[in-house]
Structure 1
Amino acid sequence: MDLETHYATGPPETSRLARTPHGRLEYLRTRELLHRFLPGHARVLDVGGGTGVHAAWLAGEGHTVHLVDVVPGHVATASAVPGVTARVGDARQLAVDSAAWDVVLLLGPLYHLVDAADRARALAEARRVLRPGGLVAAAGISRYLSLLETGAAGTLTDDRVAPIRDVVTTGAYDGHVGFVPTHWHTATELHDELAAAGFTGTGVYGVEGPAWPALDEAGLTAFDSRVEAALRAARLAERDPHLVHASAHLLALARRPA
């Protein structure tokens, strides 16, 4: 299934970060991590920005935001977000000027690009369009996501053991717990891909931390009473090499050399 068909027929992308406890936690932590590094009033290129969930708050805080996404329906929705411009485009070949952006967000493309050469091209494009000293924020999915999710939910059946072992070992996710086939990262792999693209000072952070499966099991009605503890756990574990992969997502932050 191609991405346009997947996103047209699946649950609406506009609500992805609101309809589950771990989605809400992902939103809060991604915003929190970006706030640590964003310059004031930045020119932000949101590549693979979907329907503009993050673009909306960035624009609301005074940043100039242009969104690029491969799915036309996402672009149509994002175009209606106040303060956001949007166009259809591919992370591997961005139709924007070189050295023109303070920040490039790649919060979706890297896991959808299952070929390492395609991920390298996307990162090279991000480097090209960033100004010297500019910030890239690149997200990956942890290879341990489905192991933690199915183990906590009681759905780790015998037929899922082999595909889960495969994704942990190789990063090749086959869709066994939903979603389209994608590439899932380790923190080291994500770091090394950015370094190979010429970025410096890379730090890889666990986004949701180790409490997200428990949040999902408790359900949305318990989210407000549990989220502060989950956020504290995420902050404690965000750079811990033993626990960083307990997050569902990883976020690498790095700079184009000045």
Structure 2
Amino acid sequence: MDNIAANIIGQYEIMDEDKRLEGGFGQLEKERAKELIARYLWKEGLTIVDAGGATGAYSLWLAALGHSVHLIDIVPKHVALAEQKAQATPKTHRFKASVGDARVLPEIADGSVDLVISHGPLYHLTDRNDRLATLSEARRILKPGGILLAFTITRYAGINYAIPNGLVFDETYYSVMREEVLTGLCNNNPRRISTFTNAFFHLPEEIRDEVREAGLEYEKTLGVIGTAWLVPELDHGWRDEAKRERILAVARLLENEPVLGPRMMTVARKEPMS
């Protein structure tokens, strides 16, 4: 285990990934991510690797739809919780989970996977070479014509949270936001400012270029939630059916402008056999 892996594991030992998805923001993100993923479920019984799949929010859903899903996460407690949840989830007999590093997946054979979903790795890995290793490994395990769905955090996620919450007037907080916007690096320095774990926040053209450099065919980048998360009292609005549908409508309306929101999904393919 290298220092990068140890750091990520340490960060999630004090974070609750399941709880993050419980509020209005998390529910919006989860619902929209499912919508976007569903567009690329082109046949029944796909073989799917969910790299950085955490506690199984998407893996278990996909397995219940009848797909063969292998969740891989670097955090042991995430994998244990995903396995525990699978036991209580109907129709997940084609689900399995294991501890692993998305940069190197020796247990997955070359050209054996229809669909790779990558959530955390591409923003938790702050070094470009590590992100390229993750993307190259996805390409290796994909079948010819297989699809990668790569989720990233956008460059302006932090500043767009800071503005409506008045945090830009805090000099220390603003210095962190400025660094994120100028470099993409979120390193929570100085210590009293904790906006997120160590991460890299992409511009759309950056993830496009990384995908291409890894040898994949870039298709598109879509926004997951747009600015819909800025709705006042989002938690309350999400519990109201009519408001929830309008919030989702806003997210859909803005999906072709991915930089507006905090999350993006990039679609790429492994070249088909000639």
Q: Does 1:55 align with 2:52?
A: no
Q: Does 1:8 align with 2:13?
A: yes
- After superposition, residues 104-123 of structure 1 pair within 5 angstroms as 104-123=116-135
Contact 2:24 2:235 in 1 (8 A): yes
Contact 1:209 1:231 in 2 (8 A): no
Q: Does 1:251 align with 2:256?
A: no
- Whole-Å separation in 1 of the counterparts to 2:157 and 2:254: 16
- Whole-Å separation in 1 of the counterparts to 2:99 and 2:219: 29
Unpaired segments ≥5 residues, structure 2: 1-5, 87-91
> C-alpha deviations, 1:155-199, integer Å up to 9, x for none?
333322222121111100123443211100011111111111111
Deviates more, 1:179-188 or 1:217-226: 217-226
Q: Does 1:165 align with 2:185?
A: no
Unpaired segments ≥5 residues, structure 1: none
Following superposition, the deviation at residue 111 of structure 1 comes to 0.4
Q: 1:23 aligns with which of 19, 22, 26?
A: 26
- After superposition, residues 190-229 of structure 1 pair within 5 angstroms as 190-214=207-231, 217-225=232-240, 226-229=243-246
- After superposition, residues 13-162 of structure 1 pair within 5 angstroms as 13-18=17-22, 20-40=23-43, 41-80=45-84, 81=86, 82-83=92-93, 84-95=95-106, 96-159=108-171, 160-162=173-175
Cα RMSD for the two superposed structures: 1.5
Instruction: Letter of the 1:31 partner, please give it.
Output: K
- Whole-Å separation in 2 of the counterparts to 1:136 and 1:174: 27
| Shift in CA distance, 199/185, structure 1 to aligned 2, threshold 3 Å | same
SS in 1 for 2:212: helix
- Whole-Å separation in 1 of the counterparts to 2:145 and 2:50: 17
- Whole-Å separation in 2 of the counterparts to 1:192 and 1:201: 8
Contact 1:146 1:177 in 2 (8 A): no
- Whole-Å separation in 1 of the counterparts to 2:42 and 2:237: 35
Following superposition, the deviation at residue 53 of structure 1 comes to 0.8
Contact 2:222 2:265 in 1 (8 A): yes
Contact 2:149 2:267 in 1 (8 A): yes
SS in 1 for 2:146: strand
- Whole-Å separation in 1 of the counterparts to 2:176 and 2:202: 15
